[in-house]
Chains A and B, each alone.
Chain A
Amino acid sequence: MKVFIVGAGISGSLIARELSKYDIEVHIVEKAPDIGWGVTKANSAIVHGGYDDPPGSVRAMFAAYGNKLYDELSKELDFSFKRVGSLVVAFKEEDMEYLKELKKQGRENKVEDLEILEKTELKKKEPNLSDKVIAALWCPTAGITEPWDVAMAAIENAVENGAMLHLGESVKDIVVKDGKVSKIITDKAEYKVDVIINAAGLFADEIAKMVKVANFEIFPRKGEYILLDKKLKGLVNSVVFPTPTKKSKGILVVPTVDGGILLGPNAVDLPKEKKYDLSTTRDGLDEVYVKSKKLVPKIDISYTIKTFAGLRPETKEKDFIIGPTKVWGFVNVAGIRSPGLTAAPAIAKYVVEKIFPEDLKINLQRKKHFNPYRKKIPNIKEVGLEEWEKLVKKDPRFGRTVCFCNNVSEGEIVEAIRRGARTLDGVKFRTRASFGRCQGGFCSLKIMEIISRELNIPIEEIKLNYEKSWIMDGKVRV
């Protein structure tokens, strides 16, 4: 039994990890050079409470359950996850009706512990909220994480348990024989295959077209963000939402797991062909700033570290498309828009525990020696000084700081390379080196030097991220 998962985003990665618990051959094909670089990399990084998805929708079914799975998952896979809670704030009396509606909806979605907080209580919790806020819906189970790290952790663990990862490999065609998937053809090779999981994010419709089951289309919806310096730590302690609109949850103010503050996203629908457009716009950034400042007036834009944009895979149905198709063995996990990060662990379980046995009639056998644990690359801030010193005594490279903004050592960078980082972004998203306020001014060249040394490649061949993102253009003096 050979399963190919197309896409190493949050959904594909967690499905791969779930499947690696069983005695089958699991492959993950990802066209980007690294894990989680599509939709997964640029979103609000929130594990939602699950109260705001329409009851009865597929989203609602997975979000609330997905949220519950995060505690155990974060322990096994050792990624950062903090249940900081979320607030939906009301400015006007009519918003209050909405909060009550949300609370009721939450109960229908089996999200308990929702509470409407009055102003005084709210101000105690979040003193920097606008004075104009009159009340808020408090959801203590909402959390924050680093989505790319969840995906990388899941893949690392899947690979540890025998899965095979094909990075920088693009699926070109799928051969169907007698109504079943039979072959998957990439730009590098052809593989026989029994089951294909289509978790290709923005490109899931194109993959589905290859087996002629595309009854959906994916539209990119852009969300722009502004990331503020860690010096503002504590500006908000929980995720702050405005009262949502029909289109989106609105522009939020989010604490990041390492202490920064993230503002965004707006929501701009792009034409179908703009699936690579990650550019920010003046109007978009202004909107993010103005609207987030309404929630938290103390937001100071001069603390900006960077701005970026992410794309969300939107469908007309505005809902997840999860399930088998009329081509046997071809399973869609498509349209995973918000709250995809929240839902992903539940989706992975659903695919493996329901779709495989019930729809595909495949009886999966548990592996005898599945190791559920993955250890993250250690960092001094999380490990603590005493433990860190032990590490340095074993390997002095952990005592050599490379990224000064985030205190990342050479030892961590070498470990990131050992785990598959090949580019500056590969190192950055695994270690947070160059993620800080100087944005690589002090460390990017040093990181390149380390990658060059560890992989024995000339320094000018190292890329920022993708194939054409070259950094150096040959020697000054030959």
Chain B
Amino acid sequence: MRREKVDVLIVGGGAAGLAAAISATKEGVKTVLLERDRSTGGVLNQCIHNGFGLHVYKEELTGPEFMERMWDELKEDVIRPNYTVLEIKPKTREVVTLSEEGLVIFEVKALVMATGARERPLSSLQIPGSRVAGVYTAGVAQKMVNIYNRLPGRKVLIVGSGDIGLIMARRLKIEGMDVVGVVEIMPEPGGLIRNVVQCLEDFEIPLWLSHTVVEIHGDQRLNAVTIAKVDKNKKPIPGTERKIKVDTLVTSVGLIPQNELIEGFVEMDPINKGPIIDEFMRTSIKWIFAAGNNVAIHDLVDFVYEEGKIAGYYAALISKNEKLPDSDKRFLRGQNVGVLLPQRFSQKKSFKIYLRPLKSFKKSILKFDDKVIRKFNWRIRPSEMIDLVVKDFNNFGPNVTVEVNEID
């Protein structure tokens, strides 16, 4: 068992982790990034579509391009691929890892968690029917097609209109599969409207809103699914069932932040399903930072990258024994606010906050306590994360209620 001392240890080599490594190394501290896969980049490897990088690189890039840009930015070789973290010991600041060299225990001054999210598997939704081959999460289907050069089947229904679901509808259609449609249980698409337009409308793929899969059919391999319309409570309406012959089901029914390594000792936010953080991306434990989709599910890799940069920078400062101000102020969720971060802040400098409304509003205002901070003259939706920079907090108390209200 080997021991190694590092200043900043980053767990996860997706966009957040790589960005954290870029900023931490710039501060001249000893940084190590652990990646459990054989190379870094995470999901960017397989996201060959464009739409990345408009904020960060001021260019519209594909996933692999964004990933390679980050590799170019990272000047030092700090990446350790094929390293799995087995345990984090908060008392001793030790991180126990397994790799081909055996067990390595890292003694760290600061830690950045950038462990991302995993896809919710369809099996967790309790849809009755056969358990057959031919049911894939959108991410698995994407990896199969774009990395493994293999098609998942011939005729496919997409379940869930999250962004990867929409992207995969188009991708599979381009590669010659018969894409019969996309079903979405909610009355609105789960992904960005831009993806509804360019992935579905452009390729004449139908989108069935307020619909869900109620049964899976097949003997060994999928051969059909039954879909049905749902009522306001998302319950299938009897009599609306329709059986559709498909050999493949691709599911995009949600992402789950992965926090298994820290949730036992770090304060968690039940709505974001990630650690509670402040504007420095610091968790409730002063030397543990977190960034990216493990904090909350983001829409844009650009946001994830920016958070990673912040986390890496402040983790480096902490590792140099610099003090950060206490984050003794908090944001409280008021009306219509779902995902919200950071949840704590120190009011010492301006920072960005992200939030999702719980409902879709044509015109609305965002308020801090009773003060209007931003007016939205355009439609805002739960599927589209709102980002705004906050500057002045002088007139607020230690608890600021964040609220979205509809206006005429």
Contacts and interface: CB of A to CB of B under 8 A. Distances in A.
B150 A399 contact: no
B119 interface: yes
Nearest to A301: B126
A466 B121 contact: no
Contact of A404 (B84, B101, B125, B219): B84
Interface in A374-388: 380, 385-386, 388
B266 to A, nearest CB: 15
B99 interface: yes
B143 A445 contact: yes
Interface stretch (B127-135, B180-188, B197-205, B380-388): B127-135
B102 A473 contact: no
A392 interface: yes
B103 interface: yes
Contacts of A440: 121, 140
Interface in A439-478: 439-442, 444-445, 449, 459-460, 463-477
Interface string A290-319: 000000000001001111100000000000
A396 B154 CA distance: 39
A400 B101 CA distance: 9
Instruction: Classify the secondary structure of A's interface with B.
Output: mixed
Q: Most chain-A Cβ atoms within 10 A of its Cβ — which of B86, B130, B131, B151?
A: B131
Interface size bracket, A side: 35 or more
A437 B102 CA distance: 26
Contact of B221 (A386, A389, A439, A468): A468
Contact of A468 (B99, B144, B145, B220): B220
A284 interface: yes
A263 to B, nearest CB: 11
Contacts of A396: 100-101
A477 to B, nearest CB: 6
A26 interface: no
Interface residues of B, number: 45
A388 B84 CA distance: 14
B150 A393 contact: no
Contact of B152 (A276, A304, A307, A472): A472
A263 B108 CA distance: 42
Contacts of A105: none
B389 interface: no
A304 B100 contact: no
B1 A389 contact: yes
B221 A307 contact: no
Nearest to B236: A282
Contacts of A304: 123-126
Contacts of A437: 118, 124
A285 interface: yes
B148 A459 contact: yes
Given A441-B121, A441-B139, A459-B150, A380 B98 contact: yes
Q: Top 4 nearest A-B pairs by Cβ distance?
A: A306-B123, A464-B133, A439-B121, A469-B133
Interface of B: 1, 36, 82, 84, 86, 96, 98-103, 118-119, 121, 123-126, 128-134, 137, 139-140, 143-145, 148-154, 175, 214, 216, 219-221
Interface of A: 226, 276, 278-282, 284-285, 301, 304-308, 380, 385-386, 388-389, 392-393, 396-397, 399-401, 404, 407, 409, 437-442, 444-445, 449, 459-460, 463-477
11 contacts: A276-B219, A280-B126, A385-B96, A385-B103, A386-B1, A401-B98, A445-B143, A469-B221, A472-B144, A476-B149, A476-B151
Given A437-B124, A472-B148, A476-B151, 13 more contacts: A226-B126, A285-B128, A305-B124, A307-B128, A389-B1, A393-B102, A441-B118, A463-B133, A464-B132, A466-B220, A467-B220, A469-B133, A470-B221
